[in-house]
Structure 1
Amino acid sequence: MKNASLTLFNKTCLALVIAGVAVQAAADGRIEGQIKATDKGIALEGAKVRIKELNREAVSQRDGRFVFADIKPGQYTLETSYIGADNIARAIVVEDLKTTRANFQLQGVSGLVENVIVIGQAAGINKSLNKQRSADNIITAVSADAIGQFPDTNVSESLQRLPGLSIERDQGEGRYVRVRGMSPDYNAVTINGVGVPGPDADRRAVALDVIPSDLLENLTVTKSLTPDMDANSLGGSIDVQSLSAFDRDGFFYQLTAESSFDENTEEYSPKVAATASNQFSIGNGEKNVGIAFGVSSFKRKFGSDNVETGGAWDFEDGEAGLEELEQRDYRITRERSGVTLNLDYKPTDNTDLYWRNLYSEYTDSEIRLANVIEFFEEDDEGERDGTSVAVGEFNSAEVQRELKDRTETQKILSTSLGGQTRLDNWTVDYRVAYSKSSEDEPQNIAGAVFKIDDDVIADEAFDVSYSNSKKISLSAPAEFYQSASYKLDEVELSSANTNDESTAVNLDFTRELELGNNAAQLKFGAKHQARNKDNDVTVWASEEFLGDTSLSAFSGSPVDYKLGQFGNQIDADAVKAAIDTLEDNPEESVIGDYDITEDTSAAYVMGRIDIDNWRLLTGVRYENTDFTADGFSYNSEDEIATAQRFSNSDDYFLPALHIRYSVDDKTQVRAAWTNSVVRPGFAQLSPGTLIEGDEKEFGNPDLKSLESSNLDLGIEHYPGVASVISAFVFYKDIKNFVYDVDLGKTPGYEAFDKAQTFANGKTAELFGIELAASKQFTQLPAPWDGLLIGGNATFVDSTAEIGGYDEGEFIARDIPMPSQSDTSANLMVGYESDLISMRLSANYKSNYLLEVLDTLDANKDAYVDDQIQLDFSLRYYVTESIKLHFEALNLTDEVYYSYVNTRNYNAQYERYGATYKLGITFMQF
């Protein structure tokens, strides 16, 4: 069946190629123009322009430009359609071998304030909806105006407001983005259309908290890929667009200063941001050069309080007992800075050149203090074995005080040089791009361990108990919290450096043509991308120290721990100064090192045709990936590291079909069938191998890529200003799902009691429904005509088969896809007038599978509990150019809670408190 489908699509694409070459230009007239907002000169993207007599349609691009090629000489009527603006009809005359210019200045819908299509909440929603409505495929967009209405710190938090999207947080801040229930590792990220490699050593996911939201102009999430797009996303592809000088006419600038207050640590944090753009004239051109620049800097101090078990519960005999737990206190400083520089040059009317650059840097400094409690029991010979303890039961426990002090810096650089040339009915796009992501963690304290001092506590143990199996509270004697009870036992230092570089070249050709009396388009092109990722880890350990090793010698003030009593701070500099000798730890150093190369070559052909109210787009993409992985195998018994190399090559044919039917100008139905492919994670593909006696832990470079066949069907209705009602259903059939597996005692691994690695599962499926609606109540009398209400909800159900071996027998079971919430939703209530704009927003996601701790035991599956966060933002316009803003995040102090078995059993409980922001913005446009 698959081969038959490929044959059909190949024949279709070949026919389109032949038609494109054979069709003669029956007419040489051409229509070009721009769509802008009246007076303000802001380019409007996504406006529809229609030639009434020919039923041909064009869509304005980012700079507002639209083009009709191959138009017979004659008189025509051009009609515009843009949500939030009055429609305009204009008569024009097309002459043979000439270009007719037709520019439009759109005004806000009659009866509304003019800035309904320029600034504010409604304007931001309108820009996004117009881009979404006019796209050939299924997308969701958000503009800089809309981003500014939410109290979001970074790009990922801005995206969580969109239908079908949710985020994974780190220390309360948004970090990774999930699309339609798919893990962040299965989604692609691009900056100005250029693929971005991930800075994390183990993952493909791009941590979007690295990028400041102040430097953005648009965010677009593509949910159904077209053949001219990279196929490396199962959920969706996220494009981050930075500022361009041709987004608006003339000189523009925006300056923002802000201070935020963290309720948990009572720390204040500063932020400044500036963006500017202008257009210039050189040679004989008129405003043919544009320069846009932006810079942002934010230093945030905050923290969290945590108590966790890591799922260390014993559920045997129908009772639950806890084996160990940790109290943790975090003190964090995060610095997020970025700069963007974009140059545009239009040397002729038919050629646009650009150079786009974005650089961001994110430094995360974290001090983590922990009390680690492990319950034990002694046998008749005095030997200690771990045991489980019920709630409220006192039991002997070994206790450690631990310190982790590390700073890591992640960087993302994206630069691209390219352009577009229009030659009669042909358009040629060309680009060369370079991207690099890195993560650098200089030598740090990976773990300093203080154990009970047997000179102070004779039996090196405390009798402790705990209450509440969710928000665990500890009961311990006074000596538990006293520094004199502990002494320094071991220090581990580590450093790590990861680099991920990508160079890409692509060339695309587009031909406008007619098939019969129907407007059509043929597009084809090729791309080559070379990607290299390396990781270097070094670990040292010390058990020999100088001077007094009592914790008292390293202690500071008491820890401000809001979940109970804790103990004192630990001075990291004093710990480093006490180290006498360091020894390399080759086991952890060697197996973490790898060098992976992935070179991908791609070619595609696709065609589009308009038949009455139908738009059909079909085509096929071919991709070939050459893979090479270098790493090491280390045997701890003979202490020998052996170099390893793996390589393979894979080919993929990925057909697609997109259908859009316009019921009328406000309502359209969409359907899509697409195919995509994603490589497994780098930790999964790494050839690193560690052998310790009868145990083996190793990556699997021979893993197959995840392949997904995707179906989408939906309807969109745009009733008016800032208003939409949409409903979509989607289905994904996924092959080669990757999971952890223990192959010990199976064929090939008979010598190992445990052989932990990764394997491809047979199948995984995901089905979902995505609903969205927004409404500005313009029909209400003033002042209620400024009321806006919006919401969206996504319901997803998935299943994936995993399995493991029990005494040589393979046992399979089903799990939901990791990171997939069954329900995610947003609700927004907003209001705006000439002076104020305010918005109250709630974000919700249901529980989701975090980690499979034991392949064979579902009771050990760790889940993250439901989360709902309430945020508020207020903007007051002192003048048209000056505005004040106040923001409040996490008003209800929502906690992060994960559990095993049922919600009663803690895996992790962490609270962050609320954050408040106050700032001022100066703007000129």
Structure 2
Amino acid sequence: MKYNATGLPLLGMPLALLATALIAANAVAQSDQPQAMETVTVTAQASNARSDLDRQRDSNKVVAVQTSDAIGELPDANVTEALQRMPGVFITRDQGEGRFVGVRGIDPNLNAATINGVSLPAPETHTRAVALDVIPSDLLASLEVFKTLTPDMSADSIGGAIEIKSLNTLDYDGSPYKFTTENSYSELQDENSPKMAATMTSIFDLDGERRLGVALAVSHQERDFGSENIETDGSWEEFTAEDGSVGMGTTEIEQRDYTISRERTGVAANFDLDLGDDSRLYLHSLYSDFSDQEIRQRNSWKLGDERDEPETISQNSAQWEEAALEKSLKDRLEEQEIISVVFGGEHVFDPWDVSYALGYSNAEESEPNRRDTDFVLDSLRLGYVEAGDTPRMAVGSEDVEAVLNPASYVLDELVIEDNFTEDKELSFRLDFSREIDWAGKPSMIKFGLHARQRGKNGDLNASVYEGFGGDYTLADVVRSSVDYDLGAFGPGVNVGGLNSFINANLPDFELDETETALVSARDYAMDEDIAALYVMNTIEFDVSQLVFGVRYERTDFTAEGVNVVESEEPLPGAEVIADEVYATQVNFEKKYDHFFPSVNYKFEYSDNIVLRAAYSESLSRPSFGDLNPSPDKIEYDEGELEVEAGNSALAPYESHNIDFSAEYYAEDLGMFSLGLFHKSIDNFIVMSEVSSTVDPTRFIGNLSVDDAEVWQPINGDSARISGAELAWTQGFDNGFLLRVNATFTDSEADLGLDTRSERSNKIPMPSQADIVGNFVVGYEQDAFSMRFSAAFRGERLLDVDLEDAGNDRYEEDHLQLDLSARYRFDNGLQLSFTGVNLTDEPYYVHSSGFNGQYEEYGPTYAIGLSYSTF
């Protein structure tokens, strides 16, 4: 056992006692130093850190803050990646880039995000979470993550509320500007990618005391990169082979190679009019355009199905006969656009302060002319000879020649899609506040009205071709080799050759009207109107502050969709849209309301110590994918029914939240905080087989059902999340700056399964990361500065198999190391270097230790030059 200087066993000390001891020791050590040693060199990094901490200390809520200057010191290309450095925040990634943001380890769908006070819509089809990577970090003034709520904030946040603030024109004197150019290099793809950004502000003096501030920010990035992937389609289960051997196996494994061209363009235009006499008007706008050209080469090793026995099997290998190898190309351009505009004002009409804001935001996602093409080779002897993180595939010796011959693969299917999703919101808020006397103490009463009208629409269009009027093979469009490091890949598909081939021969292809109708008829429209009233009071005591009140929210939800049924038997009353395909309209309406009390108490125990306690109630509405009224699948055949559908009747998650925290602020640059939190959540949502409880007439009218398998998301019983959050910031006289934070959580959810179920009802909260941590060490001396950072996210449960817990899918721990360095010249120029994902950390998902998905991205390096007068 290890001991500290006092002789106490260090590993046995309670965490809180250890923190107290460290703080006390630090204070004593500082008091013993000569006066000359107390002089601190103020560097840019230290100044930015102090600004962040000052805003955190002054807040009446538990909050983490990061200003634009601090964001610029790290190699973060977008808002998502900038947020990952903050205490308790983790991110999920797409192709190695940060996409969605989770707070305190909680599913990103359970957070709220606003920009300049306006809620951000989600352009993606299924999620409510906003992919903040579409917003370049160059356009930001600050990021704030609120972990407790006050009544004047929207209640739709269980994890945290993320507030993004773009540039405020009146924050700067004169007419400063900044220009940046950068080039990044993807080691995996051996590609260079340019980026340019500019920011300009100016203030114009008008008649009287009025001033008009204007700020413009523009950012454009073109990035060419990619990834290599191997994943399992389905679960691993126990097989007994034809020779009697027994082992765990899976019947489909995919090798994937991605080549991606991603562009981001962001424009912010902000206008602030100072009218004097404590009045101002503002117009803040943001436009973001995001395009993602993805080329995916794929080998699908279709080894069998659940009923096919392998020839041989062991714990690490298996072999099937009558298997198939499918070579596919996905050629997809995804375009996303977000527009956010807010007009508002703030006025003082003694004794009342009045503020108002009218906001509009619109998010769109389109997939124009997406093409998925499959070539297949049947009757093969296939398998794998390793079943670890990256399974190694094997081909029977008699089939090697055919597998390597592109002429062996026959054109099997072509799907051309044009999909469009739109999410728009109109919001209004009106707030009144004034100072009053409360039992002899100064206080501020505040009340207001907030309203949001949101609409989510999906228009799905696909043409499925399965007849081609010729003996077309992969040889007609072959790419001789694919650069793929996770195993032998063989020939691929030439993108340009395939597109030319399709354009020349498409009129001769035969449209599969049944499959086309099944995919294309599932359009949907969902409307969500929220009206809120609140009242709150802030009381200032001598050394403390109390904020309390209540918020009322009413939600009106309507949904329109289509039941698309594939059935050999006619469906009474339904519209026939193709052979054996029937459609019926689905309409749903639901109204619900909630009261949300909250209390935030802040106590300044001393000049250095701030204590906080908070209680609040909040909710998170179900994701739009779960609410979707148009089922993904309805198949009926001679009394057997199979359904995969959303559930528009879902109730929202409801949470009771308790927070306690202690924050120590050193005289010089330094802060240590410890926070404890607990969330009790009702109406936990889980995907479940509900054939025993659901009414099948909802899907197929009066057709008789002998056997049904119906999968829908349902509200489970309850869940809880408890955790501790630690953060430490320390500046040193020698130019070093240390920022460390960690969040530890423990969660449990009740699936609400029938007691006859063989699996346990208790699981971790899905998407909950048990540990989230960040380590940043910075150094600045004269004109040189650098930062090394590490972001860690612990294992989390992604998917639940209600029949077999062994098939639950977990996302493995992830640790990413990044580096940035800068040198500032006297004339305003700055040279920068960044390295991202230095250790090539993979993304890995597994089921009971077997591959679910393994993906590598490689490191990325960038060098940049900027000129600034800020």
Give the aligned partner of residue 412 of structure 1: 338
Identity %: 39
Give the deviation of 1:385 after TM superposition: 6.3
Task: Report runs of 4+ in structure 1 exceeding 6 Å deviation.
Answer: 384-388, 808-811
Report the Cα distance in structure 2 between the residues aligned to 1:707 and 1:531, rounded to whole angstroms.
Answer: 20
Report the Cα distance in structure 2 between the residues aligned to 1:124 and 1:568, rounded to whole angstroms.
Answer: 53
Give the aligned partner of residue 652 of structure 2: 705
How many residue pairs get matched? 791
CA, structure 1 residues 752+421, in 2 after alignment: closer, same or farther (shift >3 Å)?
farther
CA, structure 1 residues 124+311, in 2 after alignment: closer, same or farther (shift >3 Å)?
farther
Give the aligned partner of residue 261 of structure 2: 333
| Alignment map for 1:701-740 (pairs within 5 Å) | 701-740=648-687
Give the deviation of 1:534 after TM superposition: 0.6
- 1:874 and 2:799 equivalent? no
Q: Does the residue aligned with 1:684 lie in a helix, a strand or coil?
A: helix
Q: Does the residue aligned with 2:625 lie in a helix, a strand or coil?
A: helix
Do 1:323 and 1:387's aligned partners in 2 also have CA atoms closer than 8 Å? no
Residue 585 of structure 2 is aligned with which of 632, 643, 646?
A: 643
Give the aligned partner of residue 912 of structure 1: 857
CA, structure 1 residues 530+387, in 2 after alignment: closer, same or farther (shift >3 Å)?
farther
Do 1:312 and 1:325's aligned partners in 2 also have CA atoms closer than 8 Å? no
**1:554-604 deviation line (CA, Å, top 9, x unaligned):** 112411001122123312414523432334435543563111111111000
CA, structure 1 residues 641+747, in 2 after alignment: closer, same or farther (shift >3 Å)?
closer
Give the aligned partner of residue 81 of structure 1: none
| Alignment map for 1:175-574 (pairs within 5 Å) | 175-285=99-209, 288-315=211-238, 319-376=247-304, 389-390=313-314, 391-396=316-321, 397-445=323-371, 447-452=372-377, 460-476=379-395, 477-545=400-468, 549-570=472-493, 571=495, 572-574=498-500
**1:127-154 deviation line (CA, Å, top 9, x unaligned):** 2111110001111111111111111121
Gaps of 5+ in 2: 1-36, 241-245, 571-580, 697-704
Report the Cα distance in structure 2 between the residues aligned to 1:130 and 1:642, rounded to whole angstroms.
Answer: 58
Report the Cα distance in structure 1 between the residues aligned to 2:214 and 2:58, rounded to whole angstroms.
Answer: 28
Give the deviation of 1:162 after TM superposition: 0.8
Report the Cα distance in structure 2 between the residues aligned to 1:583 and 1:362, rounded to whole angstroms.
Answer: 33
Residue 824 of structure 1 is aligned with which of 772, 786, 809?
A: 772
Q: Does the residue aligned with 2:826 lie in a helix, a strand or coil?
A: coil
Give the deviation of 1:764 after TM superposition: 0.6
CA, structure 1 residues 305+378, in 2 after alignment: closer, same or farther (shift >3 Å)?
closer
**1:798-851 deviation line (CA, Å, top 9, x unaligned):** 111115569x97976111112211111111111002211101111111111111
What RMSD in Å do the two structures reach over aligned CA positions? 2.1
Q: Does the residue aligned with 1:441 lie in a helix, a strand or coil?
A: strand
Do 2:317 and 2:383's aligned partners in 1 also have CA atoms closer than 8 Å? no
Instruction: Report the residue type matching 2:724 in the other structure.
Output: I
Give the deviation of 1:374 after TM superposition: 2.1
- TM-score normalized by structure 1? 0.83
Q: Does the residue aligned with 1:461 lie in a helix, a strand or coil?
A: strand
Give the aligned partner of residue 159 of structure 1: 83
Give the aligned partner of residue 9 of structure 2: none
Give the deviation of 1:746 after TM superposition: 4.2
| Alignment map for 1:644-663 (pairs within 5 Å) | 644-663=586-605
Q: Does the residue aligned with 1:158 lie in a helix, a strand or coil?
A: helix
Give the aligned partner of residue 102 of structure 1: none
Instruction: Report the residue type matching 2:297 in the other structure.
Output: L
Q: Does the residue aligned with 1:319 lie in a helix, a strand or coil?
A: strand
Do 1:400 and 1:449's aligned partners in 2 also have CA atoms closer than 8 Å? yes
Do 1:521 and 1:609's aligned partners in 2 also have CA atoms closer than 8 Å? yes
Give the deviation of 1:721 after TM superposition: 4.3
Give the deviation of 1:752 after TM superposition: 4.1
Q: Does the residue aligned with 1:121 lie in a helix, a strand or coil?
A: helix
Give the aligned partner of residue 621 of structure 2: 679
Give the aligned partner of residue 540 of structure 2: 610
Instruction: Report the residue type matching 1:610 in the other structure.
Output: E
Give the deviation of 1:722 after TM superposition: 3.9
Do 1:696 and 1:752's aligned partners in 2 also have CA atoms closer than 8 Å? no
Give the aligned partner of residue 22 of structure 2: none
Give the aligned partner of residue 629 of structure 1: 559
Report the Cα distance in structure 2 between the residues aligned to 1:535 and 1:897, rounded to whole angstroms.
Answer: 31
Q: Does the residue aligned with 2:751 lie in a helix, a strand or coil?
A: strand
Report the Cα distance in structure 1 between the residues aligned to 2:319 and 2:237, rounded to whole angstroms.
Answer: 17
Instruction: Report the residue type matching 1:409 in the other structure.
Output: E
Do 1:432 and 1:505's aligned partners in 2 also have CA atoms closer than 8 Å? yes
Instruction: Report the residue type matching 1:850 in the other structure.
Output: L
Q: Does the residue aligned with 1:315 lie in a helix, a strand or coil?
A: strand
Gaps of 5+ in 1: 1-108, 453-458, 779-784
- 1:855 and 2:783 equivalent? no
Do 1:889 and 1:915's aligned partners in 2 also have CA atoms closer than 8 Å? yes
Give the deviation of 1:163 after TM superposition: 0.7
- TM-score normalized by structure 2? 0.88
Worse overlay, 568-577 or 787-796: 568-577
Give the deviation of 1:703 after TM superposition: 0.8
Give the deviation of 1:126 after TM superposition: 1.5
Report the Cα distance in structure 1 between the residues aligned to 2:531 and 2:501, rounded to whole angstroms.
Answer: 51
CA, structure 1 residues 386+442, in 2 after alignment: closer, same or farther (shift >3 Å)?
farther
Q: Does the residue aligned with 2:188 lie in a helix, a strand or coil?
A: coil
CA, structure 1 residues 659+451, in 2 after alignment: closer, same or farther (shift >3 Å)?
same
Worse overlay, 682-691 or 637-646: 682-691
Instruction: Report the residue type matching 2:778 in the other structure.
Output: G
Report the Cα distance in structure 2 between the residues aligned to 1:565 and 1:259, rounded to whole angstroms.
Answer: 32
Q: Does the residue aligned with 1:185 lie in a helix, a strand or coil?
A: helix
Q: Does the residue aligned with 1:564 lie in a helix, a strand or coil?
A: coil
Give the deviation of 1:462 after TM superposition: 3.4
Report the Cα distance in structure 1 between the residues aligned to 2:776 and 2:105, rounded to whole angstroms.
Answer: 21
